[in-house]
A and B are shown apart, each in its own frame.
Chain A
Amino acid sequence: MGMLAFFKKKAIFAQKNISNIMAKTEKKKAKNDGYDFSKTDYMFWYETMLLQRRFEEKAGQMYHKQKIRGFCHLYIGQEASASGAVSALRKGDKWITAYRDHGQPLALGTSPNALMAELYAKSTGVSKGKGGSMHLFDKEVGFMGGHGIVGGQVPLGAGIAFAEKYQGTGNVCICYMGDGAVRQGALHEAFNMAMLWKLPVIFVIENNGYAMGTSVERTSNVTELYTLGESYDMPSEKVDAMKVEEVHLAVSRAAERARADEGPTLLEFRTYRYRGHSMSDAAKYRTKDEVEHYKTLDSIESVKNTILEKKYATEADLEALEAKIMQIVEESVEFAENSPYPDPSEAYKDVYVQADYPYTTD
C-alpha cells in the first residue's frame, strides 16, 4: 500500500510547459545514476531499441518511395516504452496497443521480415497483408494488435486480462494507449471495471505530448494524466519513459501487483515522438527547439553511454551490433520486396472462422 500513499502525495501543480519538464528530467537524471541492471539488460535494451529505430527509419524511407501506403505512424523517440516493458514482463503476458504499433512486436522478437512485409501489404506479412502498419498482430509472442479506433483497445486490454484471471494463468496484459485516447468514454468505463474486478492489467498512457496536432493541455484541465486512475482508486504513477530503466522498474512493479491479484495499475509514460503524427504531418503545432530538446534525452543514446561507461561493450562491439541490425533491416526490405501481394482469392479468407460461411454474393 506504500504505492497508494505515494499517489495521494501527487504533485498538485500543473506542469504545463517545457522548461518545467526539462527541470524535472534533470532531477531524475541525477537520481537515476544508482540503477542496478545487468549487462544483459542493457544489451537487450540497446539492441531492441536500435532495431526499432533503424527499422522505422527504413520504413519511413520506403513510405516516401510509396512502397508502404496508407497511414503509417512511427514510434521513433518512444522506443524505451516498448523495450523497457518487454524486459519487465514474461512469456505468456499479453500486449495490446493502438496503431502506433511497430515498436512492441519488434522488441518482443517478432520477425522483422514479417513486419516489413506487412507494411508492404505482402502475403508474407504478420497479418497476411490484410492489416498493414496499423494492425500488426503476432499471436506467437502474445501481441494482440494494433488497433485503429482511438481508445478501442482499452476495454479489450481489460478483457484480455479478465480472461487471464478467469483462467488463473498468472499472466498479465499490458495495454498501451496515447494521451489523446484517455479522453474516450470507453476508457473510463474500462478503468472502473478493471479496478472493481482487480483485473491483471497494466494500462500505459504513452504521453508524447500530442494527439495529432492537439497538445495535452488543449484537451483537458487534467494534464497530469496518471491522476485519471485515481478517480477509480487505481494505483497510478508517472514514469520518465525516455529512460528505459524507469520503464522497466515501473512495469515490474505493476506486473508484480497484477500477479499478486491486486489488480490494475495506470502508468503514464512521459515520452516524445520525434516524427510527425503520421507521414503527412507538417507538425506546425510544435517548435523545432522542443523536438531538439527531446532528442538530447534520447533513450538509445543514454543506454549506449551507460554501456560504454560500465564497459559492458566497446565502441567496436556496438558498431558491430549496429551493422548486424542494419543487415536485419535490409534483409527485411528485401524479403518484403520479393514477397507477393495476397492473391485475390484470399479475399474471402480470414473473415469468419466458419470456413463455409454463406456470404452475400448476389
Chain B
Amino acid sequence: MAREIEFREALREAMREEMTRDSRVFLMGEEVAQYDGAYKVSKGLLAEFGEKRIIDTPIAELGFAGIGVGAAMNGLRPIIEFMTFNFSLVAIDQVINSAAKMMSMSGGQYSVPIVFRGPTGNAGMLSSQHSQNFENWFANTSGLKVVVPSNPYDAKGLLKTAIRDEDPVIFMESELMYGDKGEVPEEEYLIPIGVADIKRAGTDITIVSFGKMMKTALTAADELAKEGISAEVIDLRSVRPIDYQAIVNSVKKTNRLVVVEEAWPLAAISSEITYHVQKYAFDYLDAPVHRVNSLDLPLPYAPTLIEAILPNVKRTLEAAKAVLYK
C-alpha cells in the first residue's frame, strides 16, 4: 500500500527503519536532536531513539565529520548530517582525505561505512555562500559514492541502501524539496546505488538530470509533448557511480541529448556525460550534446540575477530545440 508522504518524511522513515534494524546506526549533526532538525528531517527521532543515537553537535563540522569517520572505521555506521552542504566545505578534508582514502591506504583493512547527508544547491534568495552545488566535486573523488535523489520514493529507498553500504556515501537533498510529496509504499524496499531510472519514456530526445533539476527536466518534457515531441527523461539518481549504460542506451534510441544540472559548467557532471556519449555513442548522435547548467557565476541574492543564472524550463526547452534543430 502506497501513501503520499513528504520528502523529509521519506528520509526520516529510512533512518528510523535502519536505526531500528541496526543498533550501530546513529545520527549526528547540528540541531538534529532537540530542535528536530533545521529542516525537520529528524523530527521525533530523539524521542524515539534517545540521546545516545540522535546527537546534537556544536558547529564543528570538521570535528564531527572526522569523529564520524573514526567511528565508522571502528565498527559503527554513522549518519552525519550537514545543515547544508555549503558547510561541508569546512569538513571536506575529513571526507576526501579520510573517508574516501581509508580503504585504499590501509590496503583494504579499514572500511568507512558512513553517510554524509544534507541539502545541496540553491534554496531561494540566500546569496552565494549558501547556494552551491558540489555534487561534481564529491563525484570526482574515488572512494566515495554520491547519491542525489529527486523524489520521496527514491530518497527513501536510496537512503536505506546508503546506510547499509559498506563505503562512504554522500547523500544530497534539497531545502526546496523537503516539502515535496510523493507516493511511498508502506512495505520495505531498497533501491540500488548506481542505477538510473527512466522517469519518462520517449523517442525523440533524451534529457538526463538528477536531484531537484529533475523537476525542470520533467516540466520541459511536458512542454515538448505539447508540441508533439517525445522526450525520454533519465534520472541518474547517483552521480558516482554514473549509470553510463542507461544514458548510452537511450541516446542510441533518441539520437539527441540534453543534460540539465544545477552545478557550474566547468568540469561538471554534464561535461562527464558529454564526454562519455561522444565516445560511446558518437555514431548515433544526430546533433551535438547540449547542457543546461547554472551560469559560470556565484549565485547572488537578487531575484533578477538568480533568474538569469539558474537552469530553468525555458533554457531546457531552448537546448532541446537546438538539438532537435527546431
Contact = CB atoms under 8 A, between A and B. Distances in A.
A211 B305 CA distance: 31
Given A121-B302, A214-B58, A347 B308 contact: yes
A186 B59 CA distance: 12
B30 A214 contact: yes
A180 B305 contact: no
Interface in A45-72: 69-71
Given A149-B90, A181-B59, A183-B60, A361 B296 contact: yes
Given A130-B305, A346-B305, A347-B305, A151 B59 contact: yes
Contacts of B304: 341-344, 346
Interface stretch (B124-132, B180-188, B214-222, B276-284): B124-132
Most chain A CB neighbours (cut-off 10 Å) among B30, B34, B59, B129: B59
Contacts of A149: 86-87, 89-90, 129
Given A149-B129, A360-B266, A344 B308 contact: yes
Given A130-B302, A132-B301, A342-B305, A150 B126 contact: no
Nearest to A134: B127
Interface string A311-355: 000000000000000000000000000000111101110010000
A71 B129 CA distance: 12
B223 to A, nearest CB: 21
A338 to B, nearest CB: 16
A234 to B, nearest CB: 20
B296 A359 contact: yes
Contact of A347 (B58, B125, B295, B303): B295
Contacts of B62: 184-185
B202 interface: no
A212 interface: yes
A285 interface: yes
Contact of A185 (B60, B89, B129, B297): B60
A76 to B, nearest CB: 21
B275 interface: no
A170 interface: no
Interface string B58-97: 1110110000000000000000000000110110000000
The interface residues of chain A, by DSSP majority, are classed as loop
A131 B291 CA distance: 28
Nearest to B63: A185
A222 to B, nearest CB: 11
A20 interface: no
Nearest to A180: B59
Interface string A115-141: 000000111000101111011000000
Interface string B212-232: 000000000000000000000
Given A360-B266, A362-B265, A130 B34 contact: no
A359 B264 CA distance: 11
B241 interface: no
Interface string A201-238: 00000000001111000111000000000000000000
Contacts of A159: none
Contacts of B56: 214, 218
A148 interface: yes
A135 B127 contact: yes
Given A148-B129, A218-B56, A131 B30 contact: no
A276 B30 CA distance: 17
Given A344-B304, A344-B307, A351-B298, A360 B59 contact: no
Given A183-B60, A212-B30, A132 B127 contact: yes
Contacts of B324: none
A212 B31 contact: yes
8 contacts: A129-B302, A135-B129, A213-B31, A218-B34, A219-B59, A342-B300, A344-B305, A360-B265
Given A129-B300, A135-B129, 20 more contacts: A130-B128, A130-B302, A131-B301, A134-B126, A147-B129, A148-B127, A183-B59, A184-B59, A213-B34, A213-B35, A218-B34, A219-B59, A220-B58, A342-B300, A343-B304, A347-B297, A348-B297, A359-B296, A362-B265, A362-B293
Interface of A: 69-71, 121-123, 127, 129-132, 134-135, 147-151, 180-181, 183-186, 211-214, 218-220, 285, 341-344, 346-348, 351, 359-362
